Structure 1
């Protein structure tokens, strides 16, 4: 879905529309385990991993590319005040992509 002023800022966009430079969208697949006894310890579990993507003249740029996604990486920064994230690298990559 598109990102913008609203949470799911889609408006009345046709599925046939092209992605123009400057558009930002979210790619967020989800996995949801039904809350049924047969799934044991995993019942009712759900997870979504979101990547935010900027469309530029040079192609797509994954804005969330520097964020941790592996369980070990996330657990390492929990409670650390997010000090383990390299925001400077993300901003440098964004600045170099052009729009």
Structure 2
């Protein structure tokens, strides 16, 4: 693949669809904070099935549990910018999983 490549860091945050921060969906709060921090971009992906810390399986196939599907917020930027954003996540008292992965960005 031709193009310029740069090293970066991927921040992935897994939360539940029903997780809230001051009456706002947690994934929305994370995206808005990332935007305000000037990060390169953020995407939210909705899972169709999963389980987390409480070991209950949530799936979109069961209407009664469809409100608590897994949500994944993905942010990629330069390592120092992503690491500088981590205190913003700490303020949210997340119960979800936060992961950092080195990535090679092809532009």
TM-score in same-fold range (> 0.5): no
Greater fraction strand? 2
Task: Name the TM tier (shorter chain).
Answer: under 0.3
Radius of gyration: which is bigger?
1
TM-score, normalization by structure 2? 0.26
Structure 1 length as normaliser, TM-score?
Answer: 0.27
